[in-house]
Amino acid sequence: MDSIQSIIGGKVYNSTSGRNSAVFNPATGEQIAEVGLCSASEVERALDAALALQGEWGRRPIAERARMMFRLQHLLEQRKEDIARLISREHGKTHEDALGEISRGIEPVAFASGMPHILKGEHSLNVAKNVDSYSLRQPLGVCAGITPFNFPVMVPLWMLANALVCGNCFILKPSERDPSASLLLHELILEAGFPSGVFSVVQGDKEAVDALLTAKGVAGISFVGSTPIAEYVYRTGCSNGKRVQALGGAKNHMVVMADADLDKVVDALIGSAYGAAGERCMAISAALPIGNEVADRLVARLQERVKAIRIGPASDAESEMGPLITQQHKEKVEGYIEAGVKEGAELVVDGRGHKVAGNEGGYFLGGSLFDRVTPNMRIYREEIFGPVLVVVRAGSLDEAVSLINAHELGNGVSIYTRDGGTARNFMQSVEIGMVGINVPIPVPVGYHSFGGWKRSLFGAHGIYGPESVHFYTKLKTVTARWGETSGSGGKAEFNFPH
């Protein structure tokens, strides 16, 4: 059985906390590894190592850091297959889905490779007589990332690419459910030429998280996870003087207009609701068809397609959907399905009890589909994070927009229509951070920024792109006077130069 450790100061570190966590293959239910969980004092050890390097790393020429990031991009492309197999082994997602995760993780790395241009700053000549003003952005300091199980490579890359290239040492606390990918990332970062120690991996649980949130030397915290934990991370980190971006959960809607191409809608919903077994913060989990006639046709088509989803392990190239991450999470999702039935929703397709031949011990759950769901039901109000799609029938677009805007979560939304005016009005009126128009999963490309509204994001900055650069740097503005060769003759200045 594998033993998974941390990387502190560029070296493999075996935790002496005496606490371990089992790592399972979700497709079989078998334990495949054990990860050592760091104590608070061991997190401090990682922080001390980062602080010792922070000054020198922050002063490295930006062109050097960018060249390292460019090499990392190349290495990630080269090792895609190896990384994908590692993701599938511990997370359970299909091989193609894992490859897609890596591709979306590489985008912000490519963006970070152009950082010399992005960090140029601004300069104003002669803002007053012989006075110039200019601005620059300097490293924030040692930063930490706390990442979720569902994207063990993509989300860390979303954080560390800009953090490192902006001149910050970075400590990653990955999920203990699928920790091995973090060690491979460290290997590739070293191979790309980054100095040993600027990137550390601290394996751990809540004790490690709390240590990072309260340690004096951590300047910034990036987090992705559920909304309750995101709020906890944000409040705790901010109260300890840190800059925090904490991305929480989602209840992403898709509005289906009467003029939409229903074939494309069904394809989009099958992929966005059931891909990665619904364990995505950008999964579409609520469909809002406008009018009963559209709803009836949509549900009828979805019913057959949901039943036909090929469910199996990543080792089967034909698999379209893999298992859930743990037995506990599978039971939690099944509990939501039972709650929906009890609250009166119509269970059109029941995914419970699904078995995969040869993988009977795996955490597999079939796709589930609910119709006639109302906004007061738990399966609508809460993020299920599983392969469950709910259909909420709306009488008009205005009603659909009101439902979406009333929800406490505001991560992503999509609309399917052939009418440009309808789409434009929807885009402007909906109170959501990321909007898709005839696009099922509106994740921005790496040179824009990712982030929701309301209780889907705590903090002022998105997780990658230009917003992330502002998060990982501090603005400094300089006002300088040059060119005067003699003093003022003893006359004091009481006014601003003009």
Residues catalogued as catalytic: 281
CA distances from 457 to 68, 382, 454 (A): 30, 16, 6
CB burial string 273-302: b at 16+ within 10 A, e below: bbbbbbbbbbbbbbbbbbeeebbebbbebb
Strand partners, 122: 135
- Distance between CA atoms of 31 and 436, rounded to whole angstroms? 39
Q: Please give the structure tokens belonging to residue 349.
A: 């397709």
- Distance between CA atoms of 37 and 42, rounded to whole angstroms? 9
Query: Pairing state of beta strands 243-247 and 20-25?
Result: unpaired
User: How many C-beta atoms lie closer than 10 Å to residue 210's C-beta?
Assistant: 16
User: How many C-beta atoms lie closer than 10 Å to residue 80's C-beta?
Assistant: 15
Residues composing the chain: 498
What crossing angle do the helices spanning 62-78 and 180-191 adopt, rounded to 10°? 130
Residue 270 one-letter amino acid: I
CA distances from 56 to 53, 191, 287 (A): 6, 20, 51
Strand partners, 253: 286, 413
